[in-house]
Amino acid sequence: MMDLAGWRPTTLIDFPGRVAATLFTSGCNFRCPFCHNPELVLQERAVGLPVLDEQEILRELGRRHGFLDGVVLTGGEPTLQADLCSFAERVKALGFRVKLDTNGSTPDVVRALVEKRLVDYVAVDIKASPGRYREFAGIDAPIAEIEQTVTILKREAVDYEFRTTVAPGLARLDIEAIAEWVGPARRYVLQRFRVPQEGSKTLLDPSWALRDGLNEEALREAWLAIAGRFEDGGVRA
């Protein structure tokens, strides 16, 4: 069974071009200090979260088919879920397009989902250039595995994007280094880091709320410098 810790019944922004529901899985193998969902990462922060019934969620999705046309599987890190492929298959059987959000650390799972045509769109969060990954992922990240995921998506027909939340400390040179690493590719998106409305307590490391990141104008200038390496993309508000 999937460990589902929350869901958003309707979203117009999580799945490009589709009206979707977003399902949040519990557990993550990264410890990104600027993460907005620490309750999905740290076991001690998960106390009190509802445990959603997988069957009821599927029934509710079935009732909403026609209004919704997509389902986003995010987290946490959904590829850590042992039943992810079978769950995605059941969602597809209801007639939905499926989008996966992942940190790219489990290429075998991504490959299986793609080869079985269980996902229609994959978004990979690229935290930093390889030399700075530990700083922004909070662990000694598996760079080789992330590279495998990037390669799998670039070779397959499934739609995808690479995206970077430009956390405090990342500069234009870092963005250019990321673009050199993952490009050329179909789509790359820069996202501005924002402190959640609820405040710093909703960040994994609250001290990051006090750090300054690049503003939107600087992000747009950075995008212009790298746009030639990608077919599509830009700055996402």
Pick the CATH number of 4-236 from 3.30.420.40, 3.40.50.11900, 3.20.20.70, 2.102.10.10: 3.20.20.70
Helices (H), the chain: 54-64, 84-93, 107-115, 133-137, 143-155, 172-182, 216-226
C-alpha span between 184 and 24 (Å, rounded) = 30
Domain segments of the chain as ranges? 4-236
Residue ranges in the chain modelled with pLDDT below 70 = 43-49, 199-201
Span 29-58, pLDDT tens digits: 999 999 988 888 876 666 666 778 999 999
Task: Specify the pLDDT at position 197.
Answer: 72
Task: Specify the pLDDT at position 199.
Answer: 59
